[in-house]
Chains A and B, each alone.
Chain A
């Protein structure tokens, strides 16, 4: 009751777009449906206690799909339980009855219940016989509410009582109504996820282009532009570095990898916003285009947060209502969710493995939204501005300058670090252990990487160059290394 209220309020007050609200789960109405199911079951004589006593939780989805012939299954199926049909989830009870009399084969049933079920079974047996005459259309009738159906006939020689046992299924019309309501909602939520993710991906691509436009240093023939964007490049880098340091929607940290919940993401976004304000990064941006793009970046994050919030709330509503359903009816409503997971892969990573501590990650479609969009932003926007950490030398941890590639692996080293390795008699590549250090010479300078670093890290390049020169002079290693790289400045 408390959740229902909270849910409705959140939906109404958090400014979600109109068309999203249409896809939201109708918690209140579903609750009413549960009441109806409850009444229907009681009408069958199956009150809460009876079902509780008889129903056995279905641990394996396969069991629910198809009654198998195994001995074990005979016993479990002796008790009525909610069954599901692969394509369309139709809640129904399955009861084992005597084929002649229709007496339910379960000693635990109260007499009244037994009589009621027998009556249902008998009428069904007659109907089934009639149908057998007409042809084998029985299976097509499975979804018809309020009819009973003979699904399986078999005998079990081991149990004399069950010699003429037959399976009858009792479709539960009201439970069907419940799931008919819930199912399409999920489909709508999935469509919404797809549409919104697609929309946001376009926005991300758009933003990527905008960022590229304002940070791309040195555009041929536009020396003036360089002066401006050259500073902005550093502001953007810092802005993105902070973002990467504390990702908002998805954590890469070993300890708690995975999508973050809405409330975690929200507080992270707020902290990020605060950081940008306190460092004055936004205010420092020189060009209006850069300012505009920065605003766009923040807005995009807010939009992503919103859809995550919406999906997360719906996922919670779904899981709460199913829990309620199970509690009130003692039918296995959760089976429904399991079936849906195979239908909507985006829902997949949500449920924690039983017995394992829940990771505290987000649930439902929110999870895949967080993951997908985080990946999009990382590759299409953040990737535009290279970070220094990706260009450091594995030996000295400073920017690899001048960059030397030994050709054995993709590591880039400082030229001075390689010289030092050679002097110290290290023959092998520090990263991959190949015997390449001794052979390295001026030809190993990676000019492509050099151009790149010069372009994107002009300040670092200048500083490293000076350091190199100083060290080179001091040690006087030889002509080709002493020569200052003037062209670099």
Chain B
């Protein structure tokens, strides 16, 4: 990409730094302003509480006409997130709107951690466990959070 960075991306980045969302951070790479290192804290009260999840976020050339591409880097046990960290979330697909932003998308992801939806699974095995033995699934999610998403 040789084209200058669109004003929209510059503004979004500025605001992410100046008014960060509690529990969420997004830092652009020095050599590629469209590539962000993201950290999302597991929401309080969920089985991901006290976890710190790393994600990568990329803004394609036609952003904001198309959604950012986001993937979990930290392993996570969640029915809507597959083993490669890909996320099943409507606003990242068909329900994307150019009026959404990095900020709102990351908040949606954080909310997804608080409300797993096994009816619309991306990870069949996890979703199956979630539906058949929820306490066990939640225990596993807690365990994984402790193992892979430890703070610090």
Contact = CB atoms under 8 A, between A and B. Distances in A.
Given A420-B65, A421-B65, A424-B62, A396 B99 contact: no
Give the one of A424, A430, A433 with max B CB within 10 A.
Answer: A430
A397 B97 contact: no
A interface secondary structure, majority: loop
B6 interface: yes
Given A421-B65, A424-B62, A394 B98 contact: yes
Contacts of A433: 97
Nearest to A417: B98
B11 interface: yes
A334 interface: no
Nearest to B100: A430
Nearest to B66: A424
A172 B140 CA distance: 67
B97 A428 contact: yes
B99 A431 contact: yes
Contacts of A398: 7-8
B8 A424 contact: no
B42 to A, nearest CB: 21
A123 B100 CA distance: 79
A426 B98 contact: yes
B69 to A, nearest CB: 17
Contacts of B120: none
B21 to A, nearest CB: 10
Contacts of B12: 397
A179 B66 CA distance: 68
Contacts of B99: 394-395, 411, 430-431
Given A421-B65, A424-B62, A430 B8 contact: no
B43 interface: no
Interface of A: 253, 394-398, 411, 417, 420-421, 424, 426, 428, 430-431, 433
Ranked 4 nearest A-B pairs via Cβ: A430-B99, A394-B99, A397-B8, A430-B97
Given A396-B8, A421-B65, A424-B62, 9 more contacts: A394-B98, A395-B64, A395-B98, A397-B7, A397-B11, A397-B12, A424-B65, A430-B100, A433-B97
